[in-house]
Amino acid sequence: MRPFTWLYEHVLRWAAHRRAPWLLGAISFAESSFFPIPPDVMLAPMSMARPARAMRLALLTTLASVAGGMLGYLIGALALELALPIVNDLGYASVYATAQGWFMDWGFWVVLVAGFSPVPYKVFTIAAGAMAIAWLPFMLASFIGRGARFFLVAGLLAWGGPRMEPWLRRYMERIGWLTVLLLVIAVLALSL
């Protein structure tokens, strides 16, 4: 079975749908506060298929993600007792504890790095709200971190364009499993 190739094929079909930008915005919003799938999985093929729209799609993804980060912040500030069991059930308890420690030491920079990196951003938005991190620096760091990530993804795939698609298809399983391995290493490193 080739799970990443199967997923890639489905995402390509979703990305070609006429309402794909709406779905991209919804996924971007939800991923920053409660949804487990990152918007990159739709942003990448959409940018590759239509390079002229890539920067607009990156902006949409960034704005929706930052808005979702606001929801995550509010969940942490107003409903932490409801969110923590879910965070624990998803296996993010150690990441949440690490996020809290990092917020105490580095504040703004943690949000910026979490926004750019593949670590679960939603955990950091919830932790920021729970710890009452200053709203304006949180929003600024979210916008910079998320924007840098999504514009980089969109830019690289727009640059590669449709000629990159056969290469991605050929190496999708390797890329997928490498991504899983890197996430596992990141989670283990954060939990230590």
Cβ contacts of residue 108 below 8 Å, gap of 6+?
137, 138, 140, 141
Query: What's the total number of domains in the chain?
Result: 1
Burial (CB < 10 A; 0-12, 13-18, 19+), residue 176, is middle
pLDDT in single tens digits along all 192 residues of the chain: 577 777 777 777 777 788 889 999 999 999 998 887 788 888 988 898 889 999 999 999 999 999 999 999 999 999 988 888 887 887 878 878 887 888 888 887 888 888 887 777 888 898 899 888 889 999 999 999 999 999 999 999 899 877 877 777 777 778 777 777 776 776 677 666
How far is 78 from 129, CA to CA, in rounded Å?
Answer: 8
Of 158, 149, 162, the closest CA to residue 121 belongs to 149
Q: Domain range spanning residue 162?
A: 3-191
Other CB atoms within 10 A of residue 39 CB: 30
